[in-house]
Amino acid sequence: MESRKIACLTAAIAFGLSLVGIAGAAAATAPLQDVVVKGERIDPDLQRRVSYADLNLAFRPGQKILASRIRSTANGLCWDLNGPFSTDRCTLAAIDSTKGQVAAAVERAKRQMAGLPVGPAVAISMVIGAR
C-alpha cells in the first residue's frame, strides 16, 4: 500500500513539473508589452503609451530609462490635464501610483532572465486626479 502512494506521488510531481516547463516555454516566447499611461478620465486625447519593449528591466540601466520615460510622460499628461497649475504634485502622484506595477514588471523580467516561468507581461497605468 505504501509503495502505491509513493508511485502516485512521484507521478503527480513529474506531471506538475512537465506543466511548469510547458508554461515557462510558452511564456518565454511572449513579446514584451507597452506601458500605458493614462489619466483618470476616459479621454483618448489624454492617453499616452510608454514602451519598454526595447528595455531589459532585469538590469538597473533599463529600469532607469523606464523611470525617466514614466516621469516625462506623467509630466506631459499632468500638463495636459492641469496646465501649469499643480503639475509637480500631479506628476509625483502619477509616478507614485505606478511603483507597485513597475516593481512587478522588474520582478517578471528578472524571473524571465533566470529562466523561471513568468505570467503575461505587465501593463503599467497611472492614476491622475481630475483638474
For residues 14 and 59, the model is more confident at: 59
> What does the pLDDT read at residue 67?
95
The structural domain count of the chain equals 2
Expressed as residue numbers, the domain containing 25 is 1-30
Going from the C-alpha of 21 to that of each of 72, 83, 106, the distances in angstroms are 39, 51, 22
Do 54 and 12 belong together in one domain?
no
Do 25 and 41 belong together in one domain?
no
> Per residue in 11-34, pLDDT tens?
556 655 565 555 555 555 556 666
Q: Which pLDDT band holds residue 80 (cuts at 50, 70, 90)?
A: confident
Cell of 98: 505606478
Question: What is the DSSP annotation of 31-60?
Answer: PPPEEEEE-SS--GGGEEEEE-TT--TTSH
Task: Round to whole Å and give the CA distance between 131 and 119.
Answer: 36
Can you give the pTM of this predicted structure?
A: 0.61
Do 35 and 25 belong together in one domain?
no
For residues 37 and 107, the model is more confident at: 107
Q: Is 124 helix (H, G, I), strand (E, B) or coil?
A: coil
For residues 85 and 113, the model is more confident at: 113
Do 59 and 94 belong together in one domain?
yes
